[in-house]
Amino acid sequence: MFGFGKKEELFAPCEGRCIPLKEVHDPVFSGGMMGEGVAIIPAIGELCAPCDGEIIVLPESLHAVGIRTKNGAEILLHIGIDTVNMNGDGFTTTLKVGDKVSVGDLLVKVDLEKVKNAGYEATTPIVITNMEKVKILEKTESRNVTKGEKLVSYKCA
């Protein structure tokens, strides 16, 4: 058995409604198949870094961003449900894989009205994908949050 190190936190990437993953209308996230965390129904279309780290995933569709923290936690922001089908329409970023980000740095701008008009939800799961290396200490769920507010506390192995 291994011990866990220093406590880390994930912060709200935007203003919105924080909900439990089990309420996300996608069985991959609601069933915990991608990992543990929370989701935000964004009120604004600017999603910022929930933690310090390095961009490790950024598909051409810009519907998701993966960040690895210095202690090895891998965080995924999945912007919307099935928005990969939009092929990047309505999403913009200046980032690329390998870029370093700090909490609050702008990751992706998304046109929430365009997402809605395309028939998709903007609900954004924020999950730790490598749970074998992470122990969740506490999660914020089911309330309105402001950008930068603490959402999840965890420790890395």
Q: What is the pLDDT of residue 88?
A: 97
Alpha-carbon distance of 80 to 99, in angstroms, equals: 23
Token pair of 121 as six digits: 């939800």
Q: Is the pLDDT of residue 16 over 80?
A: yes
Q: What is the pLDDT of residue 157?
A: 82
**What percent of the chain is modeled with pLDDT above 70?**
97
27: buried, middle or exposed (CB in 10 Å: 19+, 13-18, 0-12)?
exposed
Q: Which CATH number fits domain 7-156: 3.30.465.10, 3.40.50.300, 3.90.1140.10, 2.70.70.10?
A: 2.70.70.10
Read off the pTM.
Answer: 0.94
13, 26, 78, 101: the active-site residue: 78
Q: Is the pLDDT of residue 104 over 50?
A: yes
Which residues, in sequence order, are bridge partners of residue 121? 81
Alpha-carbon distance of 24 to 40, in angstroms, equals: 9
> Domain-by-domain residue ranges, the chain?
7-156
Q: Is the pLDDT of residue 2 over 80?
A: no
Alpha-carbon distance of 26 to 30, in angstroms, equals: 6
DSSP-based three-state secondary structure for 91: strand
Q: Is 63 a catalytic residue?
A: no
Pinpoint the alpha helices (H) of the chain: 27-30, 112-117
Question: In angstroms, what CA-CA distances link 155 with 2, 32, 123, 131?
Answer: 12, 19, 26, 10
Per mean pLDDT, which range of 26-30, 57-61, 90-94, 138-142 is the poorest?
A: 138-142
pLDDT digits (tens, 9 = 90+) for 31-69: 999 999 999 999 999 999 999 999 999 999 999 999 999
